[in-house]
Amino acid sequence: MTMTTSKHASPAASSKAAVTGSEAIVKFLKDSGADLVFGYPGGAIIPFYDALYGSGIRHILCRHEQGAALAADGFARASGKTGVVIATSGPGATNLVTGLANAHMDSVPLVAITGQVATTSIGTDSFQEADIYGITIPITKYNYLVKDPADLLDVLSEAFHLASSGRPGPVLIDLPKDIQTAAIHYRVPRPPAIPGYDPRPAPDPQDVAALAEALALSLRPVFYVGGGAAGCDKELIKLAEGSDVAVATTLLAKGIFPDSHELSLGLPGMHGSKYSNLAINESDLIVGLGVRFDDRVVGDVRGFAPLARVAHVDVDQAEIGKRLSVDLAVHGDLKLALDLLIKKLKPRRRPEWHGRIQELKARHPLTVPSGRGAIKPQAAVKAVSDLTRGKAVIVTDVGQHQMWAAQFIESNRPRRFLSSGGLGAMGYGLPAAMGAALSGPGVPVVLITGDGGIQMNIQELATIRENDIPVKIIVSNNSCLGMVRQWQQFFCGKRYSETVFRYNPDFSRLAQAYGIPGKRVEDPDLLVKAISDLLEAPGPGLLDIQVEKEENVLPMIPAGKGQTDFFGEEA
Amino acid sequence: MKKIMSILVRNRPGVLSHVAGLVTRRGYNVESIAAGPTENREITRITLVVRGEEHNLDQVAKQIRKLIDVIRVDPIPHEDAMTGELALITVSFTPEKKSEIMNLIGLLGLTIKHIEKDSATVMIAGSAQSVDTAINGLSPFFIRAMARTGLVALPLYDNGS
Ligand SMILES: Cc1ncc(C[n+]2csc(CCOP(=O)(O)OP(=O)(O)O)c2C)c(N)n1
């Protein structure tokens, strides 16, 4: 077979000034508004960093490439813009892998630029050479190894286009050192033309009509909403309110439909509320919107929503019917589909269903457990919610505290709750919160993390101090890997195998060592005051909250089980 | 079951790794994969033959369709498919069997590419079935080496598609 690159870009008529590849990238980034980037330098990317020097682009020097990738992710999720991360070849590039996989799973627009050994050395195992192109094929939406400087500008514009359009995702550009120094003519890149790539497929009006009809006939409809609905919050509210549709939002969709809304069911699935799962179980029509029907929500594919027809609207055709075969499929851009649906659907009141939802919510509320003794972690999360009242970006790490945040934080707008969902990558929280705060969200950024997770990227405290990034850090400190410990309690007869830390640093003093105000709180009576002090003080701060060690996240549907198989209760 | 897919892709470096990697990573068994140029030198056609459960095969087709370099995926229904394959086969024999083998080669309609006193390399191009028939026909003798291209296929295009 032949695999030739036949593209020798025609020199553009416009600006013919010769620049280096690195200068061209910097100019491209500035022109496209990417004026804040995250990264970490090294030998193979020195020419690029040289061009960056004094360029006016703000570069945040993180303390680990994983931190830089996750910071770019937090920046992107909070702002809706494309995050940019830069690393050197070899170890720098491999350190990006978790960040890329995370962005891939959660469909976050990210462009990663990695240095690479010179094209003449590729394939010779030269110093700090790693095949990051090959390594990242399965965890990027697309990736490039630039071998011809004439391709560079088109690659850049295509990369940003791909990352941010359609179902967004991470794109990696591997950039050999000689490409960074090669002389090229700067020109405006060609508009990306990718045959076979349709970022905004129009839904088939007949499919939408069928969905409208199903909705009109349904007595107990539920929207099951995922992260793909991020830009459709207004349409959702209109549809739900117009027709009394109950709305369940996945972890990634939290806030897209207001948690405070009467029709909100909040989180469904493994650690969702009972009322959310019961409503799904009683529903006669589930409409998945920009969502994956993943195993943390739909544990048992065959037993899912036994009374319901299932419809699915998604921009990604490969998601439709992937885990669950659906009765009604609408392939297309979600906003286009919802606009059409709004036109076709006659609003209709469903007082019985509306009443039933209120009844389920009243009968099975999520409550903070009471009792004296140590601080309940749920109480800490609830206090954050009460004190911020939706006016904050809440970022979590991964574990029990993450699920309590999903349960007890009230989030009423998109892009205000950031969490590693699909990959569940511990270490996400601190750098992502940093990136979110740098995106200028206009509200405080509060990180809720665990004593395990924060230690996976603790080095970023230095980045936070250095750049005065006002992240409010709350450590739910149970001296253990709580979520795994919980599984061991439930399913391994309390054999706590390697989940209890026998030593932890004093996080408040550790923060202080990084120049960040740190406090510890143990007394439940002082909890609310301590959190409110943290939120009110200017700049970054850390609060180490000593919480009940053996607290569990409930309700819980064990993995693979159905929507009503609540752990510890007879069916 | 078996599924044949004809995949048109942008002729980019790495495109074959993207396609082959995806198929194996998602747990499907590749029976053969063949790639080569088309009438448009910027476009490559890949013919992929995979085995698996029907539902999974639909899923793999969708996943392939989703790859950025993939322009279109045409499933090839076995019956009306325009498919073909080429094989090179080297058989060894004792000198006294030579005439018997030459007869057989003529009977099977194989092209001789190379011949020695105790071995011959023959070529066959045709349907996958005719390749199988040739191999079966030669199998009483010692087949020392064999190379099959894997199936190539062309969908039946309507005018305008
Ligand atoms: C990188 C990574 N390693 C391991 C895990 C498995 N894991 C999931 S939750 C968890 C415990 C997290 O502990 P901690 O950060 O203290 O939070 P807690 O559950 O106690 O709130 C672990 C180890 C993971 N999700 N990510």
- By the 10 Å C-beta count (0-12 exposed, 13-18 middle, 19+ buried), A443 is classed as middle
Give the tens place of pLDDT for each residue, B16-64. 999 999 988 888 889 999 999 999 999 999 999 998 888 788 889 999 9
Q: What's the pLDDT score for residue B55?
A: 79
Selecting among A128, A459, A489, A512, the annotated active-site residue is A128
How many C-beta neighbours within 10 Å does residue A307 have? 12
Tokens of A228: 């793909």
C-alpha A456: how far from chain center:
18
Tokens of A231: 């830009």
Domain hosting residue B139, numbered range: 82-152
Please judge whether A145 and B14 are an interchain contact, meaning their C-beta atoms are less than 8 angstroms apart.
yes
Q: Confirm whether B158 is domain-assigned.
A: no
Q: CATH classification of A205-363 is 3.40.50.300, yes or no?
A: no
How many C-beta neighbours within 10 Å does residue A493 have? 7
Among residues B54, B76, B98, which one ends one of the domains?
A: B76
B71/B6 same-domain check:
yes
Q: Rounded to an integer, what distance in angstroms lies between the CA atom of residue A42 and that of residue B153?
A: 48
Residues with CB under 6 A from ligand 1: A 397-401, 424-427, 450-453, 476, 478, 480-484
Q: What's the pLDDT score for residue A443?
A: 97
Q: Rounded to an integer, what distance in angstroms lies between the CA atom of residue B25 and that of residue A111?
A: 24
B9/B62 same-domain check:
yes
- For residue A105, indicate whether it is catalytic: no
Contact indicator for A272, A266 with CB cutoff of 8 Å: yes
Cα A103 to averaged position of ligand 1 atoms, centre (Å)? 18
- CATH number for the domain harbouring residue B68: 3.30.70.260
By DSSP bridging, strand A471-477 and strand A541-546 are parallel
Cα B143 to averaged position of ligand 1 atoms, centre (Å)? 57
- Closest to A553 measured CA to CA, from A363, A260, A272: A272
Q: Rounded to an integer, what distance in angstroms lies between the CA atom of residue A321 and that of residue B37?
A: 33
Among residues B76, B106, B127, which one ends one of the domains?
A: B76
Q: What's the pLDDT score for residue B53?
A: 83
- Closest to A444 measured CA to CA, from A465, A474, A471, A469: A471
- Closest to A277 measured CA to CA, from A253, A296, A262: A296
- Closest to A463 measured CA to CA, from A504, A419, A516: A516
Residues in B 62-101 with any Cβ partner in A closer than 8 A = 62-63, 65-66, 68-72
Q: Which CATH code for domain A13-185?
A: 3.40.50.970
- CATH number for the domain harbouring residue B89: 3.30.70.1150
- Nearest ligand 1 atom to the CA of A98 is 1
Tell the residue number behind the tokens 């990573």, with chain if given. B25
- Nearest ligand 1 atom to the CA of A483 is 19
Among residues B15, B41, B76, which one ends one of the domains?
A: B76
Give the tens place of pLDDT for each residue, B93-139. 998 999 999 999 999 999 999 999 999 999 999 998 999 999 999 99
| A548: Cα within 13 Å, side-chain hemisphere | 20
Contact indicator for A42, A174 with CB cutoff of 8 Å: no
Please judge whether B17 and A6 are an interchain contact, meaning their C-beta atoms are less than 8 angstroms apart.
no
B90/B135 same-domain check:
yes
Q: What's the pLDDT score for residue B80?
A: 55
- By the 10 Å C-beta count (0-12 exposed, 13-18 middle, 19+ buried), A339 is classed as middle
Contact indicator for A477, A544 with CB cutoff of 8 Å: yes
Tell the residue number behind the tokens 């806030």, with chain if given. A255
Contacts of B63 in chain A (CB under 8 A): 318
Contact indicator for B26, B64 with CB cutoff of 8 Å: no
Q: Rounded to an integer, what distance in angstroms lies between the CA atom of residue A413 and that of residue A421?
A: 18
Write the residue with the smallest CA distance to atom 13 of ligand 1: A481
Give start-end residues of each CATH 3.40.50.970 domain in chain A.
13-185, 377-546
Largest Cα–Cα distance of chain A, in whole Å?
Answer: 75
Can you give A95-146 as a three-state secondary structure string? CCHHHHHHHHHCCCCEEEEEEECCCCCCCCCCCCCCCHHHHHHHHCCEEEEC
Q: Where are the alpha helices (DSSP H) in A219-325?
A: 233-243, 274-282
B88/B71 same-domain check:
no
Q: Rounded to an integer, what distance in angstroms lies between the CA atom of residue A20 and that of residue A183?
A: 5
Q: Confirm whether B70 is domain-assigned.
A: yes
Per-residue pLDDT of chain A (571 residues; tens, 9 = 90+): 334 444 444 344 344 579 999 999 999 999 999 999 999 999 999 999 999 999 999 999 999 999 999 999 999 999 999 999 999 999 999 999 999 999 999 999 999 999 999 999 999 999 999 999 999 999 999 999 999 999 999 999 999 999 999 999 999 999 999 999 999 999 888 889 899 999 999 999 999 999 999 999 999 999 999 999 999 999 999 999 999 999 999 999 999 999 999 999 999 999 999 999 999 999 999 999 999 999 999 999 999 999 999 999 999 999 999 999 999 999 999 999 999 999 999 999 999 999 999 999 999 999 999 988 999 999 999 999 999 999 999 999 999 999 999 999 999 999 999 999 999 999 999 999 999 999 999 999 999 999 999 999 999 999 999 999 999 999 999 999 999 999 999 999 999 999 999 999 999 999 999 999 999 999 999 999 999 999 999 999 999 999 999 999 999 999 999 999 999 886 5
Contacts of B22 in chain A (CB under 8 A): 138
- For residue A483, indicate whether it is catalytic: yes
- For residue A235, indicate whether it is catalytic: no
Number of folded domains in chain B?
A: 2
The residue count of chain A comes to 571
By DSSP bridging, strand B111-115 and strand B119-126 are antiparallel
In one-letter notation, the amino acid at residue A417 is F
Q: What's the pLDDT score for residue B27?
A: 81
Q: Rounded to an integer, what distance in angstroms lies between the CA atom of residue A292 and that of residue A300?
A: 14
Q: CATH classification of A377-546 is 3.20.20.70, yes or no?
A: no
Q: Confirm whether B161 is domain-assigned.
A: no
* 3 state SS of A273: coil
B42/B104 same-domain check:
no
B60/B116 same-domain check:
no
A1, A138, A320 ranked by CB distance to B21: nearest: A138
